[in-house]
Amino acid sequence: DAAEMDGYEHFMMKEIHEQPKGLYETLTRRLNEDDTINLDGISMTKEDIENFNKVYIVACGTAYHAGLVGKAAIEKMARIPVEVDIASEFRYRDPFVDDKTLFIAISQSGETLDTLAALREAKRKGARILSVVNVVGSSVARESDDVFYTWAGPEIAVASTKAYTTQLMCMYLLALYMGHTKGVIDKDYYARFIEELKQIPDKLEDLLKKEKEIEAVAKKYCRKEQVFFIGRGVDSGVSYEGSLKLKEISYINSFAIAAGELKHGTIALIEEDTLVFALATQDFLFEKMLSNIQEIKARGANVVGVAKEGNREIEKQSTEVIYIPDCMDEVTPLLSVVPLQLFAYFVAKFRGCNIDKPKNLAKSVTVE
Ligand code: G6P
Which value does ipTM take for this structure? 0.98
State the DSSP code for 313: G
Residue 73 CA, distance from chain mean position: 12
pLDDT at 302: 97
In sequence order, the 6+-apart residues with CB closer than 8 A to the CB of 254 are 226, 227, 228, 229, 243, 244, 246, 247
How far does residue 9's CA lie from ligand 1's centre (Å)? 22
Ligand 1 mean position, distance from CA 158 (Å): 8
Would you say the C-alpha torsion 64, 66, 71, 74 has a positive or negative sign? negative
What pTM was computed for the model? 0.97
3-state secondary structure of 251: coil
Question: What is the layout of strands, in order, in the sheet containing 302-308?
Answer: 253-258, 226-231, 275-280, 302-308, 320-324
Residues 108-131: pLDDT tens digits? 999 999 999 999 999 999 999 999
In the DSSP assignment, the letter for residue 36 is P
Distance 135 CA to ligand 1 centre (A): 12
Question: In the chain, which residues have pLDDT < 50?
Answer: none
- Which residues contact residue 233 at a Cβ distance below 8 angstroms, ignoring those fewer than 6 apart? 72, 282, 285, 329
Residue 1's pLDDT is 65
Give the per-residue pLDDT at 87: 97
Half-sphere exposure of 80 (CA within 13 A, CB side): 30
Nearest CA to ligand 1 atom 4: 61
How far is it, in rounded angstroms, from Cα 78 to Cα 19? 27
- Cβ(315)–Cβ(321) under 8 Å? yes
Ligand 1 site, CB within 6 A? 60-63, 107-109, 112, 115, 158, 160, 361, 363-365
Burial (Cβ within 10 Å: 0-12, 13-18, ≥19) of residue 68:
buried
| Start-to-end CA span in the chain (Å) | 30
Residue 2: what pLDDT?
A: 64
Q: What is the pLDDT of residue 367?
A: 85
